[in-house]
Structure 1
Amino acid sequence: MANNLKAVPLHDRVIIKPAKAAEKTTGGIIIPDTAKEKPLTGVVLAAGPGKKDEPVTVKAGDLVLFGKYAGTEFRYENEELLIMRESDILAIV
């Protein structure tokens, strides 16, 4: 995965690109923007070095599962990204 991200998260922070929200149901019904649910998975773009005596276990390119309200949304180079603590990540998928 080519990563041109110049932002570097500090300490135990991780930058994640969330997966796209579903546009249609399995039955073919189109979901309007107001009813779309926030995705719970994403790809790690960058990870900080970790805390003292606790290195970060995820790395760039990992597909991760995180909590519904985890992280802070921000816009970087016209992309919607999330930054969160590694402890907010529930699993590497």
Structure 2
Amino acid sequence: MAKRLIPSLNRVLVEKIIPPSKTNTGVLLPEKTKKLNSGKVVAVGPGLWDREGKLIPVGVKEGDTVLLPEYGGTEVKLGDKEYHLYRDEDILGTLHD
């Protein structure tokens, strides 16, 4: 049975990207090069409502690659996969090629 989590309010479900520990040619990479903390957005909540009742949407969308804070987020396990839930304002930015 497959489960899908739809985050509440302004929360974002992220699957962290694990950087490679070595290059294609087999050269081991130092720990410093693996420091970038990024993830792929799997699902987003609808957003928050302001005082006037207007919906403020989440700033990222499914499929975005985002820069995450070093600490924080709530770990969530669905099946054999591990995800993290962050508030929209905790996400540091989006990464583009």
* Alignment-derived partner of residue 61 in structure 1: 63
Q: Which ranges of structure 1 fall in alignment gaps of 5 or more residues?
A: none
Structure with max Cα Rg: 2
- Alpha-carbon distance, 1:74 to partner: 1.8
- Alpha-carbon distance, 1:30 to partner: 6.8
User: What is the percentage of aligned positions where both structures have the same residue?
Assistant: 37
**1:43-78 Cα distance to aligned partner (Å, 9 max, x none):** 100000011032111110011001010211121121
The alignment's C-alpha RMSD in Å is: 2.7
Figure out how many residues of one structure are paired with residues of the other and give that number: 87
Q: Which ranges of structure 2 fall in alignment gaps of 5 or more residues?
A: 51-55
2:18 counterpart SS class: coil
Give the whole-Å Cα distance in 1 for the aligned partners of 2:82 and 2:19. 12
**Residues 38-49 of structure 1 aligned to structure 2 (within 5 Å):** 40-49=37-46
Give the whole-Å Cα distance in 2 for the aligned partners of 1:5 and 1:59. 20
| TM-score, length-scaled by structure 1 | 0.77
* Alignment-derived partner of residue 51 in structure 1: 48
| TM-score, length-scaled by structure 2 | 0.74
83, 86, 91: which one aligns with 2:85: 83
